[in-house]
């Protein structure tokens, strides 16, 4: 009977075209994490591309037992949300950021991004927020549309295309001042920021990203870029269209200005202080800590974890992350993928646990909390009417976060993407 049900399940959900008529099936794992808490003896029913029931099997009436799929030894979760990725980048130890931006054609980078999107989905991330194409212009709009239209496989994307940067602060360095080179972002200042934000919106941006600070100080130190009034102008212009602003900010002053300007999310926050995190909490600003980005870069520079001396940037990152947790700042789970390998997204969650966050809090951050903060509709929670974006793994990731790597099924829109 189990074999019959297994093959029936595969026949009901195939890899055929987007227009395929789907049917109803019921998934019965050992545990169901609904985006908030873990439940045993629950099932999830999928009808077409949406969730039609979540709860104890005995509460589901008049169902066809032939559609019941036993998934013993597994946990079922909402599809994970990658809160900070760059589909158009790949690890800097393979090729530097400068060389990716300056030497690779946009068509080549789109081809790479297509593969990266597929890797992300296959890792269990059915939604992702892309924080900029880094020199590939508005190519993320086409990537998103191709995914939505079923042309290629990938997560539901939230995009911002070109980040906003202050003149002279960002881009490849070390060239003669008279040489004009691609920046990987859009420069704008003062009143011109209104036009820049509006141009981003017209090109399909779901949100606006701004660099509130960058390494443009003496000796390449990170310093604030935009003034408080400029940041407020960006936020006000974006808000008039119903969009939020995310700010790259690692310095204390850059974070302070971004918070007071009204941004919704701080990306990185490396040098945050208890006072800054209290300010974030007061103004309801979330933090996307991107723990693994600095970890990976330190490894590229020769650091061997548990063998060589821990770099100061890693020590500081652990401290600031703990301070953010202590202050009660809302955490969006995102690793700055692209700095490291796409598909290895779970490493960010493992570090979040290692640095002091509970496994349940990390899972909630990667599902329901990120869906709420990032304004992603119908994902992040297992509830009736939401998309049937599901992840099924062996074991119980509420006990061991690394069980998220033991993928049994990835389902998007009710259709199997990965089956092991």
Burial of 107 (0-12, 13-18, 19+ CB in 10 A): exposed
**Which 3 state secondary structure label does DSSP give 341?**
coil
Query: Residues of the chain with pLDDT > 90: what percent?
Result: 88
Regarding the domain delimited by 80-373, which CATH topology (the fold level of the hierarchy) does it fall under? TIM Barrel (3.20.20)
Report pLDDT digits (tens) over 379-414: 999 999 999 999 999 999 999 999 999 999 999 999
Burial of 412 (0-12, 13-18, 19+ CB in 10 A): buried
Q: Roughly what angle, to the nearest 10 degrees, separates helices 252-261 and 274-282?
A: 10
Q: Which two tokens stand for residue 157?
A: 């994307």
**DSSP alpha helix (H) spans, 13-105:** 97-103
Q: Which two tokens stand for residue 10?
A: 């595969």
Query: Whose structure tokens read 């006072």?
Result: 275
Determine which of 198-202, 215-219, 257-261, 328-332 has the lowest per-residue pLDDT on average: 215-219
Domain regions of the chain by residue span: 2-79+380-419, 80-373
Pairwise pLDDT comparison (315 vs 3), residue with the higher score = 315
Please say whether the beta carbons of 161 and 204 come within 8 A: yes
Burial of 234 (0-12, 13-18, 19+ CB in 10 A): buried
- Level-2 CATH architecture, domain 2-79+380-419: Roll (2.30)
**56 torsion bin: left (phi>0), alpha (psi -120 to 50), beta (else):** beta
**Which 3 state secondary structure label does DSSP give 33?**
strand
Mean pLDDT of all residues belonging to the chain: 93
- Give per-residue burial for 150-166: e unless 16+ CB within 10 Å, then b: eebbbbbbbbbbbbbbb
DSSP conformation letters of 36-59: S-EEESEEEEEETTEEEEEEEGGG
Report pLDDT digits (tens) over 209-264: 999 999 999 888 999 999 999 999 999 999 999 999 999 999 999 999 999 999 99
Query: Whose structure tokens read 């941004």?
Result: 263
Do the domains 80-373 and 2-79+380-419 match in fold?
Answer: no
- Give the pLDDT of residue 171: 82
- Give the pLDDT of residue 2: 45
**Which of the four pLDDT bands, split at 50, 70 and 90, describes residue 181?**
confident
**Which of the four pLDDT bands, split at 50, 70 and 90, describes residue 10?**
very low
- Give the pLDDT of residue 210: 98
Query: Whose structure tokens read 């081809």?
Result: 111
Cα→Cα distances 368→283, 308, 324, Å: 20, 38, 19
Burial of 288 (0-12, 13-18, 19+ CB in 10 A): buried
Q: Tell me what the mean pLDDT of segment 4-19 comes to.
A: 42
What is the DSSP code (8-state) at residue 337?
Answer: B
User: Largest alpha-carbon pair distance within the chain?
Assistant: 74
If one counts every other C-beta atom within 10 angstroms of the C-beta of residue 354, the result is: 11
CA distance linking residue 152 with residue 128, whole number of Å? 15
Report pLDDT digits (tens) over 51-103: 999 999 999 988 888 999 999 999 999 999 999 999 999 999 999 999 999 99
What is the DSSP code (8-state) at residue 309?
Answer: P
Q: Tell me what the mean pLDDT of segment 352-368 comes to.
A: 98
- Give the pLDDT of residue 17: 39
Q: Which two tokens stand for residue 60?
A: 């589901």
- Give the pLDDT of residue 417: 95
Please say whether the beta carbons of 374 and 158 come within 8 A: yes
Q: Tell me what the mean pLDDT of segment 326-335 comes to.
A: 98
- Give per-residue burial for 199-217: e unless 16+ CB within 10 Å, then b: ebbeeebbbbbbbbbbebe
DSSP conformation letters of 346-403: HHHHHHHHHTT--HHHHHHIIIIIHHHHTT-TT-SS--TTSB--EEEEES-TTT-GGG
Nearest to 355 by CA among 262, 291, 260: 291
Report pLDDT digits (tens) over 310-319: 999 999 999 9
């Amino acid at each position: 009977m189990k074999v019959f049900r297994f093959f029936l399940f595969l026949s009901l959900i195939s890899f055929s075209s987007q227009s395929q008529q789907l049917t109803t099936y019921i998934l019965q794992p050992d545990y169901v994490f609904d985006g908030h808490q873990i439940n045993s003896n629950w099932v999830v029913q999928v009808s077409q591309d949406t969730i039609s029931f979540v709860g104890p099997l005995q509460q589901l009436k008049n169902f066809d037992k032939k559609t019941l799929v036993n998934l013993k030894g597994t946990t079922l979760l909402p599809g994970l949300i990658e809160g900070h990725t760059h589909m158009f980048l790949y690890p800097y130890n393979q090729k530097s950021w400068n060389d990716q931006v300056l030497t690779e054609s946009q068509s080549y980078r789109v081809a790479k991004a297509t593969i990266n999107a597929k890797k992300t989905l296959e890792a269990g991330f059915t939604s992702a927020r892309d924080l900029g194409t880094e020199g590939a212009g508005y190519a993320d709009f086409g990537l998103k549309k191709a995914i939505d239209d079923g042309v290629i496989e990938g997560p539901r994307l939230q995009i911002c295309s070109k980040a906003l940067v202050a003149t002279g602060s960002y881009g490849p360095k070390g060239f003669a001042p008279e040489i004009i080179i691609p920046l990987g972002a859009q420069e704008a200042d003062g009143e011109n920021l209104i036009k820049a934000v509006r141009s981003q919106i017209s090109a399909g941006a779901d949100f606006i990203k701004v660099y509130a600070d960058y390494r443009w100080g003496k000796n390449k130190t990170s310093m604030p870029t935009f003034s408080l009034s400029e940041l407020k102008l960006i936020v006000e212009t974006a808000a008039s269209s119903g969009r939020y602003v995310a700010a790259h900010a690692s310095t204390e002053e850059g974070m302070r200005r971004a918070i007071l300007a009204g941004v919704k999310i701080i990306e990185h926050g490396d040098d945050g202080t208890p006072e800054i995190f209290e300010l974030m909490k007061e103004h309801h600003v979330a933090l996307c800590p991107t723990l693994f980005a600095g970890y990976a870069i330190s490894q590229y520079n020769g650091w061997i974890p548990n063998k060589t001396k821990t770099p100061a940037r890693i020590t500081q990152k652990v401290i600031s992350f703990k301070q953010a947790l202590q202050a009660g700042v809302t955490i969006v789970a995102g690793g700055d993928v692209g700095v490291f390998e796409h598909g290895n997204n779970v490493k960010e969650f493992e570090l979040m646990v290692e640095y002091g966050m509970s496994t349940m809090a990390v899972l909630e951050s990667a599902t329901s909390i990120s869906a709420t903060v990032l304004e992603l509709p119908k994902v992040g929670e297992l509830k009736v009417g939401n998309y049937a974006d599901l992840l099924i793994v062996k074991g119980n990731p509420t006990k061991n976060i690394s069980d998220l790597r033991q993928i049994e099924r990835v389902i998007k829109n009710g259709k199997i993407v990965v089956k092991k």
